[in-house]
Every structure is written in structure tokens, then in C-alpha cells.
Structure 1
Amino acid sequence: MKNSKNFGLPNGEPSFKVAENGVFYKTNKVGSSLYYSAETKIGEKELAKAKFTEAMDISLKSIVDTNENIVAAYFNTSDNMNRLYPFIDDVAQQYGRHINMADYNFYYLADLKHNPKKEPVWTGAYLDPAGNGWMLSCIVPIYNGDILEGVTGIDITIDSFVKNILNRKLPYNANLFMVDKDGMIIAMSEYIENLLGLKELKEHLYTDAILKTIEKPEEFNILKNSTPFASHFKKLMQEEAHTDSFIIQGNEYLALEQKVDETDWELLILIDKNEIFDSIVHLKELSNKIGYFAIAFLLLFYIIFFYFLLRRINIFSDVITQPIVKLSEETTKIKETDSKINTINTDILEIYQLNTNFSNMMSELNKKTQNLNEAKLLAEESSRAKDDFLANMSHELKTPLNSVNLISSIMLKNKKGNLDEKDIKSLGIINNSGKGLLNLVEDVLDVSKLELGDIKLNNSNFDLCKLLEKTYNSFELQTKNKNLKLAFECSKEIGLIHSDEEKVKQVLKNLLSNAFKFTENGEIKLTARLNKEFVEFEVKDTGVGIPEDKIEDVFDRFKQVDSSITRKFGGTGLGLSITKEITTLLGGDIKVESKVNIGSTFTARIKSNKEEIIQKEVGENSNSLNSNKKKIILFNNNPIKFISLSVLLQKSFDLITTSDFNELLEISKKTDFDYILFDSSKIDEEKLSKLEVSKEKTVLIKEEEIANIEKIKEIISLLES
């Protein structure tokens, strides 16, 4: 402003005057109006600024005249000067005696505190002091170094914003409204006004000067508005989702949110879903009508078509089916041994040929069936004779063999000392051969019984670890003779089991004998452990091992890995086969893992049947009484399923059972009990609340847990604690 040569005066020399209220203003009504606050002292500097800012009129005028949305352009200074286009006739009265620019958002939003980046800034909606009603401004700070000299900006009225931008015809009759970052509605269409129950602020009747920024009331803030409609958009603005759908006054709407990065505003779009789907619904209705007509036409056509088709089929099928029905009746006689098929008269060559083939086939079947029956009877007779022979032979052989073994064992002791080394060696051969023959006879007897299904289990309660220890000790001599190490380990948690003791002993002996037979040096280990309802025996050796392709054959009768093993180690190949069948009888199985020249591990499982032991103990002790027993109430609707638990509880507690809830209420009030046990499927929170019993005295039991003996033990332990 110091050098007037830098500025032109596009409107000629301006004239100024001081109004009665002390305002310095421009009098010639050309270009933009000028206003200086009465509290600003007008000196040469201020006069020069008022004069030479006339050069801005060209820019201010072109901005307003070329854009229908812009209603005013202006320049405000830090010393409270205002230059605004278009010209305000009575600017001194419009603004009043004094206007402090720093009190208005169209000035202070551009200062360093609010706009540290010194970028263009958009204001929110405010009431224009210049008399243009409610509007928005885009303002730009003008700095002289670090000093804010002034702010230039443009004004857009809310009315023009709504008319020219928000009221545009959009697809699906979409309605728009704009909010600032704080949720204040900048502008909205009439449709949105009706939904929110608000009237958009556009015009204003000015009676006094606007001395500070006047913004829209709080009900225009979408985040503070209490209407249901506003709450939906509040959710949309506060969450990351940019779309939402909701129902207002019975209509379903689709809402979209889009951020306007340049202004930091948010454009909200509301679309009635009926508008979107109207054309689709119309097309659907039309297609439905066409479809119904087509279906009706096709239905009528096919009714007529199938009527005539079925008539032809029935006539034709009778020609075919009648002889087939007769043939079917004849073929039902096939189950009769000496049945014959009669010839059927028919003109259909294929059916006639089929009938002839059936007749010939029946003749052949009758002959072959008769031959098979005769062969079956002969085979059964031979099998019985073989079994009788084996049983008799085995019985006859066992007596002399036992005598041979006993006498040779006594002679081997050489108590009189009259036998030399050669004699003792010969007696040893006799004794070993006798034992081998006796084992063979017993194996043959077992195989015979297994084939006949003649083996019956003699189950009893016994201490498995003691049985294992006895079996382990019986191999002590073999251990010394072969210079092997025999290890034994039995889990104490096994305790008593309910099974056939002799059969379990036979399984153990067969597995240990097999291990000793094929182990020349190293170690044999016998282990027993409890695995759920099973007991597992594991015999691990460091013997010759089994090739992988031969493992499946080890449990087959009369099979060994190869013929050289039979020659070297002896045996018939029956031991493991018998062991497998016995473990199956005992409710278990057997498996083997082996590596050549490393060793084999045989694992046999049998059922422990511990529940049988518990039932027996309960039966023996059910009559015992204990005056110090805890009182337990058992409530369930199915006494049959809970009988096992009832029997066990009676052993340790003073038990009261009931299946009626009302009776339970009565008992609980009159009885000093310790616990109530419930069937969890028959009790709910409502019933529990009626009982008025503390949680510490209630125990819920699932129906599936009653069959689990370990779970029953846990429940009893809990009650006893």
C-alpha cells in the first residue's frame, strides 16, 4: 500500500465519507462497497488501504459474476476494514458502528491458531452480517511474513447451495444433505427437513447489526438431534461403515456417507429403497404373469399328452407284463430244492427265451445243490472225526508225556551221582523234547476248541500284578540259561481286574515264550498298564525281529517268518495265533511293532471289567450301616438309568431318592441334608431358585456320565470330601 504505482483504480478515483455513527465508508456506488469500523483511526495508511484495495474489484467481481452459486466476494483486514462485492448501499447501518473481524468465523478460522497450514478453509453455516441471510464461506489468509494482514473469501448462501446443489434431480429420487465435521447440518433438502422436523435456515429479517458469529441452533446438529432419523445418521458418522439401512415411518431407506476431503464435510445421501426396486418389482410381476401363463399352458398340454400316452402304455404294457408276472410267479419257486419252472406261452421272443433259460438253470441248480449238500455232510462228518481224533490223541499223549517229563526232570538232578555227563545231556534232550511235544499237544487242543467255539471264560476278580509277577518268576530258569536280562514293571493303579485268570496267564506265557525263543542276547521287558477300560501288556525283546512284509503273517496258524527260523528256533507257529484269538475272547486285541535285528514289541489289550468288581463290592456291603454317613438327596426322572449311582451312593451315604419335584421341595425343607444331586437334563434355573439351596450343596450330573465308572468315583470323592 506504500507504493501507489503498484495499484490501479479500475472504477476511477473513489470517494469516501464518515457516517453519523463514525463509520468510514465509500460513497460512489461502483464496484465493491468499503467499510471501516468507527473505532479504527483513519490515517494516511488506512486511507491508502481503502483507496488502493479498489484494485481487487476486478477479481472480486469476476468471481461473483461467473459463478451463480457465489453471492459475494470480500476482503477483510486485521484493522476491521471490509471490502465486499456486490456493493452494499447502506453499509454503515448494515454493519453498525463497530465490527470486530476477529469475532467472526469467516475471519478467525483463517488465523494461525485455527489454520496453522495457512490453507483455504470452509466455515460452517452462519448468519451473514452483510445481509445475505444464512451462508457458507471459503476463506484464505493473507500474510505479510508472519503477520495476518487480512482474509479474503467468497460467500455461498444456504439457499443457493440447496437450490443449485442439493435439489438436483438424482437417480432413484435420492435426497442429499451436508454436515460439517462437528455434525452441524450445513444444508439440506426439503425432504430431509420433513424427516428431521426442522426448517432449513436460508433467509433472515435483519433488525439489528450482526456483531458476532451466529451459527445454527443445536437441533441442527445431527449428533445432538434427538429424532429417530438423526440417530441412524449419527451411527453412520461415528462408525467406519459408509452405508446403512433403516426403517423410518414404515419406509425402508438406504443411507450412504461420503467424506468431502477439500472441505472436511460429509455428504449424506438418503434413498428410499422402494425407488430402487420399483422397476425390478414391476419386471418381476410381469415375468410372474408370463411364467404363470406358460405353466398353465404347459400343464394343460401335458395333462392331455400324458392321458393319451398312458392309454397307449397300458395297452402295450399288458402285452409285456402278463407273461413277466407269470414268469415271476414261477421263479419264486426257486427256493424249493426240487422246483421246476413251467413253460409260458408268449409271442415275445425275449420273454420266451428267458423262461427257457430259467428252466434250464433250475435243473442245473437242483443237481449242484444236491451234490453240495452231500459234500457238506461228508465234510462235517470228517471234521467231527478229526476233532474227536485230535482230542483223543492229545489226551492219550499228555499222560505219557507228563510221565516222561517228570521222570527225566528227577533223573537230571542225579542225586545218587551215578550218571555221567553224556547221560545227563541225553536226559536233557529227552526232557526238552517232551516239554516241546506237550506244548504242541496243548496248542493243538486249544486250536481244536477255538474252532469248535468250545472255550468258555471263567471270570473272577484277581490281582493282575501278582499274576504277572508269578509268570515273570516262572521264566527265571530260562533267563539264566540264555544269560538274558528280564525286566518287569506293573502299574499299581491296575489293582484288581475281572477276567479269566488262566486265559490271561496263557496270553502272558505265550508272549514271553515267543520272546525267549527268538532272543539270543540282550533284554526282555514285561510291562502292564491301565488304559481307560483296558489293561495293556507289552512284551519287548531285542531278538531277531520281523521283516515289515511278514508282520501281517505272524498271527496266522502254522506260519513263521521263514523256514530257516523253524529249523533254528523250533515251534509250530500256533502260539501267537492262539494268543490273538484268546485276547479277542477277553474283549481286546493284539498288535506288533518290529524291526529286523533290533527287536519286537507285542502289545496285547484285554478289558479290565472294573465295573463288575464295583458291583460285586456294592452287593456285599449294601446292608452295612453307618450312623455317621452324610445325607444325600438324589433327584432324577429316570431311576432305571441312575440305578448304578444309587447303589454306589447307598454304600457310603444315607441316601434319599425322589423323582417328583414337589416331593423334593418337601424333603429339602424337613431334612438336614449335606448335598442334593440333580439330573442336569431335568432341572433348570427356575426350579433351583424355588429350592432355595446354596450352590455349595448342589451337584449337577449329566446323564451320559452315569455309564462312566471313573466319573462316578469322582462324584463320590467330591461328596466324601
Structure 2
Amino acid sequence: MEHGPRHDAPGSVNLATWISRSYLRTAILPLLLIELTFLAIYWVSSNFIYDRNAAAVEKISRDYLSDLAQREALSISGSLDSIAGMTNILAREARRALDLPAPPVSAAEMARYRRTPAGALVTFGGGDKSASFYSGKRGIGPVQIDKVRRLTRIDPLLRDLKETNALVAQSYFNSWDTYNRIYPYMDAADTYPADMDVRTYNFYYEADAQHNPSRRQTWTDAYLDPAGAGWMVSSIAPVYSPQRLEGVVGIDITIGALIEHVLAMNIPWKGYAILVGRDGTMLAIPGPGESDLGVREMRQHAYDRAVTSDTFKPESYNLLRRKDLAPLATLFRDNRAGPTDVTLNGRRMIAARGAVAGPGWKLLVLAPADEILSEAESLRARLQTIGQLMALALFLFYCIFLAYLYARTRKLSKKLSDPLQAIGETIAEIGAGRHDQAAPASGVTEIDALSNSLVHMSRGLAQAYQTISEQERQVSTALQREVTINAAQRRFIDMISHEFRTPLTVIDSCGQILARRADQLKPDDLRQRSVSLRRAVRRCNDVLASALQLLRVEKTGRGEPPRLKRAMWSELVAPAQESLREQYPGRTIEVGDLPATPLQIDPEMMRVAVAAVVDNAARYAGEDGHVRISVQEQDDRTILSVSDSGPGIAPEELAQVKQRFFRGTNSAGTPGAGIGLYLADQILDAHGGALEIHSEKDRGTTVALSLPKPMTWQVDDEGLVLSARDGDTSEQY
């Protein structure tokens, strides 16, 4: 249907013109009123503002100082939280190092350890290594040497904690029996007393059960470090075993590092900050605050002699013990107190407080009041100029804004009509079955919402079709997976039934013969039938044992953890050799020399693995075949090789022989469940070993069981020179 020409009514205007005029009439009067009101308020209130400006600036400054103190305290909390987190990591690693057996330690590392004439055990020649100190107070024997070796595991972490955080001065572990391992290296022999008892120092006892029953990370008060690093605070955490408190780990922050951190704060008005410990001790006092507070910060300490007990800052550094700092003490104690005035060194100061979460410290920010008010006086002069400029700028802005508003409203009608037409065209495309349409954009929220709803509805219909198709595919996949699982179960049942059918047939046959001809059989015949019966029963037992071992392995994914004991190859090979001779009397068995090297294994599991490999070799060697068993020693491994003279394994099947239930094409007529090599591979893997198979067609197969050698250590009586020996069954000190 065609439309005729449009005739506008007399006096009518188009949409753009009507909207533009309406906007201008609506906006001009309020803007003029705003301008006049601003000028009137400015001139009437200027004198009042001048009088109140100083008080307002001071209040703003107080609020700013309070906010600054809280923000900077939060920043310090973040830095300390990271150190607290690193302390917890160090505690967990120390506990893990003590729980695990001692790792291999190089002779060069152990050569650093020497006994002092006073009986202490110390390190010499540090470089980029940790320092070690064992007090001779309790004696040093094999148990203590083993602890030293175990704790070498934490050396990389001690070094990384120091190198990755600029605040960290040193990190360490102290044991209950006065063993100290610390990084960076320091001369422990000259620094520590030979009979030092670390439990008497606050960086140890503040983490014990009495002072820290929650067993969490905590912070010490400021103290003088006996390791020679000067004044510091420490983040410490206990390391517990089921029996007792094994020790305490710590990360030290020097007072100098805290001062540098405080000095880095951007505090206006020539202000400065003071970091105060939870007991009121001023931990970090920057240079500008030393004269105001009447103390000099203890950044360094001259170690004329060893530090034999706790040494804390004097009482003159404690806010709570100085009457002249009572306002600061009140601000420190009262968590609800806001910024306060305090007179220091004859000057009025404004002080604000921020809480440092974690250690319970407080950050006090101080600024001279005269510096704050000097800016207020300057601000008073600037406000007059700013007020005049603002009035002029506001007038110009209104002129520009009205011109811009008129131009923008001219385009509004087009922004309303064009999208409506585009929406109509989109609806037509959707009706034609073309659902993938882009939503017309207009910039108007309601119109865009309408177009988006239409497009989403269309895409929802298309997605519904896709969802149905995807669900059909998923159902098909699930059915296929169910078919695969059922097939595996059927294979397992077929295998078990096949393996049981033959021996049960033999048992039944022997039983029938004995029932019919018991009085006619000779002793030799009876013995022969007995052997057949026992062989059939043994085969049933073997199938059951393999199935049960398979269930044990697959119950936990990789099997139960091995129960490690010391055993010899001969203890594993002998049972398999005897079983082979009984089951396969026609095979030739050749066993090479078995070394006397002890193994660290689960004997029960490893006998299953060896028996499975030997039985597999005998089974496929043939009636007149031979089986050879030998052991080779390598630097860090011992390998048991089992070779047979069978037909070998096809190259394309070699990668599958360790899969459960897999039997190669050459296994037809040979009894077996396809479980043996799978079990052996899982057991070797649980021991950190490997099962390797080498085969050539018509030239036999060799299966190698590779295990790591156990490592033992011997310590010389003269000093602390350690040597590692593979397979040794004793440790000497």
C-alpha cells in the first residue's frame, strides 16, 4: 500500500526544531538563575569564608593526617603481612625437612663444619651459604648430625627470603636443643657464646606454648640481635612435631630498614612518622623526630662482646613511660582517639594514628601546626582570585553548553526514527528464518533494549536447536562410553572364566578318575593325579592373586604406598625361581650372581612384581626354552634383567604389553590374564623405579626392573667429614 504525500498542519515544525526549542527554553532560565545565585553567594559569603578558612584548613589537615596515617599503616601492614606469610612458609618447610630422612649432602658442604675447642659445632668459609651453629651445651652426636643434614634442605628458601624482600635482614631456624641455621652467612664461632641457650632469647620463647598457645606466627619487640645484625624486630613462628616444639623459624627486619621505610613516606608540611611497638616502644624514629622526642635512634650496635641475654631498648624509648609524651601515649592507647595536639621541643604538633594489623604496632604521623596554617594563609589569597575566575569560566561554559545543546538536539529526532526503521527491517529478516541478525544500535537505551531483546529472542531459538543437537550428541557419547565399559567388564569376566575353566576341568577330570578307579590306581598314578590337582589349584590361586593385586592397585589409582624395608635381590628371586621350577619343569633356569647390595623396598609388593616378570618369561619361553636372571649395578640404580628364549613381541604390540588385560597375538594357547606386566609396572613406579621391555621377533624378550639405590652416610670421628656409600647397612659417627 502506497502512502500519499504528507501535509503538515499550519504552524507545525519538524521534530528536530521542536525538541531544540524546547530544550533551550527549559535550560536557559535555570542556568541564568544558577549563575546569579553563584555570584550572590560568593560575594555575601567571601568575608565569612576568610574568617573560617584557617579553622577549616586545620580540620581538613587533621582529617588528612588521620587518613594518611591509616593508609601508610595499611601499607606497612601489607609489607609485614608478606613477611608473616613467608615466615609461615619457612615454618612448614622446616617441619617438612625435619620429618623427611636426611638428603644426600656433598662432602664439600660437610667439610665446612668444625668443632670448636669449647665443644660447639660451627661452619667456616661461608660465601653465599648459610651459617650453622650447634651449641655444645647438650652434646653433639649422631642425632644432632642427622638434624644438621636434614635442615640443609631449607638453605635455598632462607636465601630466597632474604634476596626477594628488601626489608628482610636475615632468616633462620633455631631448635629446642640450641641449633641455629641462618642466612646470610656470619662468623658464628666469634659471635655466639659456645654454651648459648637459644631458648632464653625473646625470638625463641615468644613463640613457645606458654607465650604463643595458638601456635601461629607472631612478632617480637625490638631487641639487640645476638647474631651481630644490630637492633631489629622479628617475625617468628613455631615448628611443632607430634612430640614437642622442635624449634622456631624467624625473619628479621632491622630498625634501620624500618626507618628507611618510614622515611620513604610522603608526609606533607615537613611532617614525619614514628613506628611504635605494641608495648609502647618506639621502633623507628626518623631524623626529624630525634630532636623533638629527645632520643637518638639505635640503628647500629658495636659488638664488643657476645650478647648472652635479651637486650631491649631503654625506657626513654617507651611512650608509656615518659610523662612529657602523655598525649602521644593517650593517642597510642585509645583506638577511638582522633588527631590530637602535642607540644614537642616548644612547637605545637598535630598527631594522628594508624594501626598496623598483625604485629599490633601503631604508626604516629606528626606535622607542625605552623606549617599547616602557612598554607591556609596562602590559600586565602588564592581563593579570591579563584572565585572571580570561576564566575567568568562558568558564564563562558554556559554559553558553550547552550550552543552544544542546540546542535545535539537537532540530531535527536534522527536518532529516534532511524533505529525504529532498522528494527522493522530486522523483524522481517527474522520472520524469513535468518536468525543471526545484529541488533541495530541507536544510542537510546530503551530502543537498544528493544532491538537487543528481539535479537536475543531470535538467537535463543537458534540456540535451542543447537542445544537439542548437543544433547543428542552427549547422549550418544554416554552410550558409547557405557558400551566401552561393558566391553571391558565382559573381557575381564571372559578372561577370569577362561582361566578358571581349564584348571577346574583338570580337577573335575582327576576327581572322576579317582571316583571310578580309586581301587585300581597305583601309587605313581595317584601321585601324578595329585600333582595335576595341585597344579590346577595353584593356577586358580595365581589368577585370584593377580585379580586381587589388580584391585589393590586400582583402588587408590597408583596403589597403596610401599611399606619400605631393607631386602636383598636373593630374597626376591629365590621364591620366583622355585615357583618356576615347580610349574615349568621343562625350562632351563640360569641365575647370575646376585649382589649383596641391600634394597629399600616393600618386599611383599616387589615379590609380586619379580614373580610376575619371571612367570611371564617362563610361560613364553616354550617347553624346552630357557630363562636367564641377572643383576647389573649402575651409579645410582640397580637393575634386575629377566630374559627368555621365546618368540618375542611384535614391534607394533610392544607399547601395549604393559596395559591391563592386553595379550599379544603370540599368546594364543598360552594361559595368562594379561595382568602381570601391568602390576609389575605399577609397583616399580610406586618405588620410584621403572619397568623396561626390550624384544626382537624370534629372538626372545628381556624385561628390566630398575630401582634406585639407597644412600647411607658415614661420619668421621675426627670431625664432620661425611662420605656417602651405596648399599651400606650401617652408619658410623
Q: Which has the larger radius of gyration?
A: 1
Query: TM-score range with shorter-chain normalisation?
Result: 0.3 to 0.5
TM-score by length of 2: 0.38
TM-score by length of 1: 0.38
